[in-house]
Structure 1
């Protein structure tokens, strides 16, 4: 019997997603023993934030649904499976994003379009610290790139967000998807790293800013949902060169707060700032999760801040505003002096 998973993602060009109908975003499963492609519903859409469709034949126990497969599922899936291999984005891909900040709408918003614009020197420090970049061409031109780099300095994912001049998100994608579409449009074979990377079960496996933990070992941690909020929080509360200031990290989105990501925060003091929501649903969810995570990391402290719950109006909570939305109403110089 072949070692490893029998059902694996097909390599080569992708298909239209059966859920969102987006072209060239869907990779189906194939039976590696027979070479047969599984039914259309078994596969994954790479539009993680806008679609997220994913049906795994093992989870669904596809082989038990009247198909003529004779292997033992429990033995094969548990005893014979190789260790999970995670694939990463090459460093040169990250490096190629580090330019064209003059057309990066988010960076220009920080410098020019906020009610209280930031200093160039401090924005530059943010760019350097978090290794921010720009999408310079195509449908995402002007988007900022948020790399998720783990504590071992490996690039897990590069999220790309396009903002308008009001600093609101208008489009989201990932660098591997943008490049896949570009190569497909130009009828160029995908580089091997993309073929491998798309086999990952999960792309965003670490915290945004996690690579800074070793550089700033004594700072308390501020943990928010989105990278945008982490960057703005860094300016308002002060950059981490002062060990008394927060080191700002982000989990990616509301549902991404979990032990797997937070285990990198062992032995740290962590304050969480969840986005607002109607009836405080998100606050309560994060508070419950934080208590469970702290039980698993006994030498760490996890505290959920009530700042947003106290400052936001009910109307703002219904909109789900985040800490950045509140902070940018204040002059950051005055705010920082108060803290």
Structure 2
């Protein structure tokens, strides 16, 4: 059986087409790693009007070979003893993926070896996208990353389940009452704003999606549909999807809200705010920026900002937080970041906690 490493994404997600600039683009997915390929590989659904289609090359064909031992003998080669006791010296460049007791070896090498491979499992590898090519060093099990992810299928199911009942979450209701329908529709689509009845009816899910389109986490918050303010009484209505689903041992490793959008335009400046709601609203007021949110004052830090290190950013801290964010920005800029911190709110007469969306709603 031949397994192809890449396939078109079968979820309902759509991206900006690199040819017609419409949000009708289905991207190719790495079926092994569950990650999207670069943004130019995919198919536009506008088959009559656009017809854009670009598939990744099939790459190298390789076969899965079981082994008894696999030992590094130099910086260029391994000694492999297969199940039949046959000893082979294999260049590292020809071992394309390693498992615990087996590895995928290129067809090119196997054709010139004595290893029996024709009835083995096979698949294709492409050196442009597979980071593990030519880097096999030991036969030890790889360390597990200390990060958990929600699946794209889970996100798709939650969105479909809520939308099929014609529900509108409180935050979306507020946005529709106060902003142009088309702008709200675009913002909801771009940020995958999702209604939910987890914990509280008509609450809102904010998906934290990284640059590889992996879902790091999903924050659930409840808003007043008339004021657009978060409900904080008698307690702060904030929780997480993995808690709602009771996912055992979920390792939350947050990223900036909206981070996935930086792949869609490499020329736009990036605006950074604290609140997810503010990022969404500012994307309607100032669409010439890509708007990201830290989710909290303390999340304005290197760990979360690292993916945008090479982009020019303007941070807009809430009133009263300028000193803290400006100090952090100065520290990060010494490391190569390009972050400017705005004094717009700090120089206003508004109360502490006032944010950029409040400012634009007033003016």
TM value normalised by structure 2: 0.56
Match among 149, 154, 171 for residue 93 of structure 1 = 154
**Match of 2:344?**
307
Q: Which residue of 2 aligns with 1:145?
A: 205
- Counterpart selection for 2:328 from 289, 311, 315: 289
Q: Does 1:195 align with 2:248?
A: yes
Q: Report the alpha carbon displacement of residue 204 of structure 1 after superposing the two structures with TM.
A: 4.4
**TM alignment of 1:229-248, pairs within 5 A:** 229-237=278-286, 239=287, 245-248=288-291
Cα 1:166–1:231 change in 2 (3 A) is: same
Summarize the Cα distance change of 1:128–1:103 in structure 2 as closer, same or farther, 3 Å threshold: closer
- Offset at residue 97 of structure 1 (A): 3.1
What is the match of residue 315 of structure 2?
A: 272
Q: Please, what is the CA RMSD of the aligned residues? A: 1.9
1:90 CA displacement:
1.2
Contact 2:279/2:293 (<8 A) preserved: yes
For the pair shown, the structure with the greater C-alpha radius of gyration is 2
Indicate the residue corresponding to 2:220 in structure 1.
Answer: 160
Q: Does the 8 Å contact 1:102/1:108 carry over to 2?
A: no
8 A Cα contact 1:221 1:271, kept in partner = yes
Structure 1 residue 139: deviation in Å?
Answer: 3.5
**Pairs within 5 Å for 1:39-78:** none
Q: How far apart, CA to CA, are the structure 2 residues paired with 1:295 and 1:96? A: 44
Q: Tell me the CA shift for residue 309 of structure 1.
A: 1.1
Moved >4 Å (runs of 4+) = none
Structure 1 residue 255: Cα displacement: 0.4
Q: Please tell me whether the aligned partners of residues 148 and 253 of structure 2 are also in contact (alpha carbons under 8 angstroms).
A: no
Q: How far is the alpha carbon of 1:231 from its aligned partner?
A: 0.7
> Does the 8 Å CA contact 1:204/1:252 hold for their aligned counterparts?
no
Confirm or deny that 1:213 pairs with 2:235: no
More strand by share: 2
Q: Which runs of 5+ in 1 are unaligned?
A: 1-80, 181-193, 240-244, 331-339
Indicate the residue corresponding to 1:132 in structure 2: 193
Equivalence for 1:110: 175
* Deviation by residue 1:66-89 (Cα, 9 ceiling, x = unmatched): xxxxxxxxxxxxxxx946431101
Normalising by structure 1, what TM-score? Answer: 0.59
Q: Which has the higher contact order (CA 8 A, sep 6+)?
A: 1
What is the CA–CA distance in structure 2 between the aligned matches of 1:172 and 1:83, rounded to whole Å?
Answer: 29
SS in 1 for 2:213: coil
CA separation of 1:327/1:102 partners in 2, compared to 1, >3 Å: closer, same or farther? Answer: farther
Query: Residues 15-34 of structure 1: matches in 2 within 5 Å?
Result: none
- Cα deviation, residue 152, structure 1: 0.7
Q: Is the 8 A contact 2:223 2:230 kept in 1?
A: yes
1:155 deviates by 0.2
